[in-house]
Amino acid sequence: MENQNKFTLSRRNFIRTSALASGGLLIGFNFLTSCGETAAPPVDITKLDFKDFNAFIKIAENGYVTIFSPNPEIGQGVKTSMPMIIAEELDVPWNHVSVEQGALDTTNFSRQVAGGSQSIRFGWDALRQTGATAKQMLINAAAAKWGVEASTCSASNGIIKNSNGDELGYGDVVNEAAHLEVPEDVTLKTTKDYKIIGKDAINVDMNAIITGKPLFGLDYVAENMSYVSVMRPPAFGQKINTFDDTAAKAVNGVSEVVQFGDKIAVLASNTWAAMKGKKALKVQWINDSNLENTADHDAELFKILDGKNLEIRREDGNVKQAFAEADKVLERTYESPFLPHNCMEPMNFYANVTADKVHLVGPIQTPAGTARRIADLINRSEEDIHLEMTRMGGGFGRRLYGDFALEAAEISNLTKQPVKVIFSREDDMAAGIYRPAIKYRIAASIKDGNVTGYHLKEAAINSNMYGLIPHFFPAGAIKNYKVESGNYQSNITTGAWRAPYTNFLAFAEQSFFDELAELLETDPIQLRLDLLKNVKDGEDPNIQYSAKRMTDTINLVAQKSNWGNTKDGIYQGFAAYYSHNTHVAEVVDITLKNGLPLVEKVTVAVDCGIVVNPTGAKNQVEGGVIDGIGHAMYGDFSFENGQPQDVNFNTYRLIRMKETPIVETYFVDNNLSPTGLGEPGLPPAGGALANAIKAATGQILTKQPFVKTLQKHDASFKA
Amino acid sequence: MASYNLKINGKAVAVTVDDDTPLLWVLRDELNLVGTKFGCGIAQCGACTVHLDGTAVRSCSIPMASLEGANITTIEGLSDDKLHPVQEAWKELDVPQCGYCQAGQIMTATSFLKQNPNPNTEQIRTAMNGNLCRCASYNRIEKAVALAAKKMS
């Protein structure tokens, strides 16, 4: 989207100011939505609530600025990058800015959610306007003080100047500014004037992280709090028949054992006692529904792919005819397992349910929705719920689901005491909300050396690709095109996992294109570029990738990776993918050691519009790419009789440093509005790796994790 | 329950806990030193890494029964007012994403650099292989260990 610098939107609709009792100016604002007619920010900074405003800026009398960042921080860097945008337009030195995590008091906010890589994209305009409006208010206050026209004054680096050469610091006029009208028209900076945006800013929580300060949900403690370990059914499809808690209660430190639903909570004076108490429970489980197996899932998903009951998600032209008239047809089926999220910080939450209020503290990507569900669950008004967000030790989608917070609230409500629910790693992996197992069958028809038809079928556990995914590339690039999906309903809980669906779909399609290129005797990159020529940007509102931006991104990666001109012994694989509004192209370089692949380097080109914080942006891309390679290579998770077969890192394999490639990231230089980076780096990685392995060995990988196929190929393969 | 005397971050500390309680939970729940993180409980992820007599160990898997008189350093005690060169390197290269595993990574790195002050890339990758980072900030961790070695030489 073209970046805008002028807005007609009324500032009054989403910004309000107040003079702080302790001196200084407080600006409350909302992203996208307006605030209520009567809303006013508090005059006491300790009374900040996030009901009417989801973000605040405090400018103190010494000119220092505190930004209360509204979005949950899961490691995607928004706690640094979003305040940078405000500081840019406010025009204050970045080292005069400090950032605090905003809490949440449930209602009336717009988007206080981390997910879908959308924080920056949605915040961009509101954050810039807020910063610019605040700066104009300070200029107006200074102008009034000097008795000159505001238009003769300017502000930069926290200092306001007039044409007579007078100067005032922002802090000198904050108390006056607090009583002025919020200006209606402000002009935003153009990108060439940026001083903060586009420069590296290290993570605002850096010192706290590297010195071990309490930041995370697991670090939160409250007076008289009990530590709680929860026994959940060991298999999906089971429930409690009877249980004996004699031995659990005998564990030193255990204070109480209580059943809630099909779970049992063990409360204790410390975490270890709670965990020991849980292990001492003797529970008889009975089967409530089917105990499912991975082999059954495989059979069911194949039945869907082979069947006729799929839902059409997009259809162009006549695929049937294209295949009937084809010279050649290529068809492949791609398979992926369930995956657990495995955030390094296991799920946990604090709850204290009392007669007057419900106090909740913890790591959650969806504070608002979770607060509402808790209100429903324990039959309380939403007004009573006060939820504080902590920094999160990873999210990857898992912390969109508030199940652990609901457990804490329910246990506190039952036992009438403050509790902290802590999952062990085994709890975390076995009571997951997994990436569903999925299979894709892709077929393409070729006639006279051109791709004439494309048919993709998706069979997934529980749910299917969502939103505009059916309209992603190659939709629009191939005349006869069809996407269909179907699902099998399982009692295993599934949900969003970093780059939902596309984390595997991109691998399937991008591997398929590599084979297609071979069949067409053309270079894999050239095939993509040729197909993109068929797409007219903006013609189909459902097609949101840009052929131009994707072409530029692909050309950049081809150049930076030395595509086609590498040293002997290096094999390359290419993939490109658009997701979460960002265009990404990747080239993986591998070498062979004893005939087996070693991933050496990944060259990445990214078009995410204006790069707000280059160091943070690169960190997201590096992480996403290695995450994509790691899970494609090693991620495996199966069920026997409803029970996950891996519950800790001794058998569940995550990528480790020795297996990681060096990631080199390059951004397409443009002035377009920024888009997110938490997810888009991941989807192309698996495909680019598979294509490199194919180039090196001829081995065609259609099933994740790759390590299983490679091990079959050579039992000695461990890397 | 038994009483244990330890030296933690240079200070004498006495705690009364069950013999089988892992050091991790004594640090976190009894002493409020929460910089040491819980990740897996079975010494597979390294989030709980501390120094025992100067050497990196997994605090989740060492019971208190074996620690009478032990000298422990946690992330909170790694440096005084100034940052340790390893922490400096972490900061300079903007290593963390979510940040949860980083205390453990830093404790592994500091112990490793004491034994091998001038490591090559392969040695760094081997030394850090036991510490998981789910955000996969591995490239930066690798570079930060090399930078720290340079700072300390």
Share of chain A above pLDDT 70, in %: 94
**End of a domain among A150, A176, A210?**
A210
Question: Which residues of chain B from 10 to 69 reach within 8 Å of chain A, CB to CB?
Answer: 18, 20-22, 25, 28-30, 32-42, 44-45, 47
| pLDDT, tens only, A138-160 | 999 999 999 999 999 999 999 99
Q: Identify the CA nearest to A677 among candidates A75, A52, A71, A17.
A: A75
Q: Does residue B145 share a domain with residue B100?
A: yes
Lowest-confidence range among A108-122, A413-427, B60-74, B134-148? Answer: A108-122
A308 within a domain of the structure (yes/no) = no
How far apart are alpha carbons B153 and B149 in whole angstroms? 6
Interface test with B, best of A210, A276, A663 (most B CBs within 10 A): A210
| Average of per-residue pLDDT values in chain A | 92
3-class DSSP state of A427: helix
Query: Residue length, chain A?
Result: 719
Q: Which residue type is seen at A201?
A: A
Rg (CA), chain A: 28
Q: What letters, b where the CB count within 10 A reaches 16 and e where it falls short, cover A196-212?
A: bbeeebbbbbbeebbbb
Report the greatest alpha carbon distance in chain B: 46
The predicted structure's pLDDT at residue A687: 98
Task: Quickly tell me which residue has 């200006």 as its tokens.
Answer: A183
Overall number of domains in chain A: 3
The predicted structure's pLDDT at residue A558: 98
Peptide bond into A70 cis (omega under 30): no
Average pLDDT score over residue span A89-93? 96
How many Cβ pairs closer than 8 A exist between chain A and B?
Answer: 184
| pLDDT, tens only, A187-206 | 899 999 999 999 999 999 99
**End of a domain among B47, B77, B107?**
B77
Q: Does residue A527 share a domain with residue A645?
A: yes
| pLDDT, tens only, B109-131 | 999 999 999 999 999 999 999 99
Q: Does residue A36 share a domain with residue A132?
A: yes
Which domain, by its residues, includes A661? 512-713
Q: Does residue A354 share a domain with residue A267?
A: yes
| pLDDT, tens only, A263-319 | 999 999 999 999 999 999 999 999 999 999 999 999 999 999 999 999 999 999 999
Q: Does residue A240 share a domain with residue A197?
A: no
The predicted structure's pLDDT at residue A34: 63
| pLDDT, tens only, A8-38 | 455 556 788 899 988 999 998 876 566 666 7
Among all residues of chain A, which has the CA nearest to that of B78?
Answer: A211
**End of a domain among A404, A430, A456?**
A430
The predicted structure's pLDDT at residue A114: 53
Q: Does residue B114 share a domain with residue B148?
A: yes
A611 within a domain of the structure (yes/no) = yes
The predicted structure's pLDDT at residue A38: 73
Judging contacts by C-beta atoms under 8 Å, the chain A residues touching residue B51 are: none
Average pLDDT score over residue span A100-115? 51
**End of a domain among A210, A233, A248?**
A210
The predicted structure's pLDDT at residue A3: 63
Do A271 and B138 lie within an 8 Å CB cutoff? no
Q: Does residue A261 share a domain with residue A189?
A: no
A593 reaches B (C-beta below 8 A): no
| pLDDT, tens only, A486-523 | 999 999 999 999 999 999 999 999 999 999 999 999 99
Provide ipTM, 2 decimals. Answer: 0.98
How far apart are alpha carbons A451 and A472 in whole angstroms? 17
CATH number of the domain that A51 lies in? 3.30.365.10
Overall number of domains in chain B: 2
Q: If residue A317 lies in a helix (H) or strand (E), which one and from where to where?
A: none
With contact defined as beta carbons under 8 Å apart, do A543 and A314 qualify?
no
Among all residues of chain B, which has the CA nearest to that of A629?
Answer: B136
Do A211 and B35 lie within an 8 Å CB cutoff? yes
pLDDT range class, residue A126, cuts 50, 70, 90? confident
pLDDT range class, residue A689, cuts 50, 70, 90? very high
Which domain, by its residues, includes B110? 85-152
Q: Does residue B99 share a domain with residue B56?
A: no
Q: Tell me the C-alpha to C-alpha distance, in Å, between residue A182 and each of A28, A136, B81.
A: 12, 9, 44
The predicted structure's pLDDT at residue A285: 98
Judging contacts by C-beta atoms under 8 Å, the chain A residues touching residue B76 are: 211-212
Q: Does residue B122 share a domain with residue B59?
A: no
pTM of this prediction exceeds 0.80:
yes
Report residue A31 as tokens: 């992203």
Q: If residue A191 lies in a helix (H) or strand (E), which one and from where to where?
A: none
pLDDT range class, residue A94, cuts 50, 70, 90? very high
Question: Which residues of chain A from 190 to 249 reach within 8 Å of chain B, CB to CB?
Answer: 200, 202-203, 205-207, 209-216, 218-219, 221, 227
Question: How many other C-beta atoms can be found within 10 angstroms of the C-beta atom of residue A566?
Answer: 14
With contact defined as beta carbons under 8 Å apart, do B108 and B59 qualify?
no
CATH number of the domain that B49 lies in? 3.10.20.30
Q: Does residue A704 share a domain with residue A591?
A: yes
Q: Does residue B53 share a domain with residue B99?
A: no
pLDDT(A212) > 70: yes
Give the one of B35, B40, B83 whose C-beta lies nearest to A425's C-beta.
B40
